Amino acid sequence: MSRYSNGKLPASELVQVGTPTQVTTRATAQRWGNFVEDARRTYGWVPRITPGENAYRDYDTQVRTKAWACNQGNCGLAAAPGFSSHGGEFEGRDAMAFDVAHWQEVGWAKFKTLAERNGFTVGWFSSEPWHIIDFAPFTMPAGGGNAINTGMPAAPTRKGQQMDLLLLLITPNSGGLRRYLIDPRKEAHREISSLKYNIYNNAGFLGVAGVQPEAYLDQFPNTF
Ligand SMILES: [Zn+2]
């Protein structure tokens, strides 16, 4: 039995979670925040909800979304109005969904791991890997909003080998994140693209965990 009927949540239950048209419940927003922070810390990847009405959809939005999908020639992309898992209720259960179209940037295995350990169900519709569902949208996640408390294991370290290796480092800047390759022996850094970062990361290069202050970069002032 769901708390509300599909697409009929009162505004008092909803908070903004992305752009102004992207809203969800407080508990789901908390889970989403944990997911984003976990992804940033663990993989240097920042998930975002697909631009557009891809969080909670009230009934009228579901009508529009269905019309849009059919107009694209793929009615199956959107549920019949009143039956979407974006509507706060799905098959009799409370449910809040998000679409995360750029999940390929991090790959399926990592996306699935990140989503599941932060309370989201993935793969509900096999044709929509980007669609994640929170089936407890009115229950605050354990540990609240502090992603440090998600219980994820610390990144492995291999002390003693690191001076022979290049390291990956991520620092913030006003436009987002900057990614670097560090050569500890030369005390040198080189900025790299996010794509190259992902290639090196997937190849198993050691990385400095999380997003670190720019002062870290100052310790490697040379370039190479
Ligand atoms: Zn969806």
Neighbours of ion ligand 1 (CB under 5 A): 97, 99, 131
Torsion on CA atoms 195, 200, 201, 207, rounded to nearest 10:
-120
134 CA distance to ligand 1 middle (Å): 12
Q: Which pLDDT value is given to residue 193? A: 87
Provide CATH code, domain 11-134.
Answer: 3.30.1380
Identity of the residue numbered 223: T
Identity of the residue numbered 202: N
97 CA distance to ligand 1 middle (Å): 6
53 CA distance to ligand 1 middle (Å): 10
Give the Cα separation of 103 and 130 in Å (integer): 6
Phi-psi category of residue 210: left, alpha or beta, with phi > 0 → left and psi -120 to 50 → alpha: left
> Which 8-state DSSP code applies to residue 32?
H
b/e code 155-181 from CB counts within 10 Å (16+ = b) = eeeeeeeeeeebbbbbbeeeeeebbbb
Question: How would you write 64-98 as a 3-class SS string?
Answer: HHHHHHHHCCCHHHCCCCCCCHHHEEECCEEEEEE
Per-residue pLDDT of the chain (224 residues; tens, 9 = 90+): 899 999 999 999 999 998 888 999 999 999 999 999 999 999 999 999 999 999 999 999 999 999 999 999 989 888 999 999 999 999 999 999 999 999 999 999 999 999 999 999 999 988 899 999 999 999 999 876 544 333 333 344 444 444 457 888 888 776 678 899 998 888 899 999 888 888 887 777 777 777 777 888 888 988 88
Q: What angle do CA 86, 64, 90 make, to 5 degrees?
A: 25
Give the Cα separation of 149 and 188 in Å (integer): 34
Q: Which pLDDT value is given to residue 145? A: 54
User: In sequence order, which residues have a C-beta less than 8 Å from that of residue 54 and are 6 or more positions away?
Assistant: 22, 86, 98, 99
179 CA distance to ligand 1 middle (Å): 30
Tell me the whole-structure pTM to 2 decimals: 0.65
221 CA distance to ligand 1 middle (Å): 45
Give the Cα separation of 107 and 122 in Å (integer): 13
Helix (H, G, I), strand (E, B) or coil at 15: strand
Helices 108-117 and 26-43 pack at an angle, to 10 degrees, of: 140
159 CA distance to ligand 1 middle (Å): 43
122 CA distance to ligand 1 middle (Å): 11
79 CA distance to ligand 1 middle (Å): 9
Helix (H, G, I), strand (E, B) or coil at 175: coil
Please, are residues 220 and 182 in contact by the beta-carbon 8 Å criterion?
Answer: yes
Q: Which pLDDT value is given to residue 151? A: 35
Q: Which pLDDT value is given to residue 62? A: 96
70 CA distance to ligand 1 middle (Å): 15
Identity of the residue numbered 1: M
78 CA distance to ligand 1 middle (Å): 8
Q: Which pLDDT value is given to residue 152? A: 37
Q: Which pLDDT value is given to residue 166? A: 81
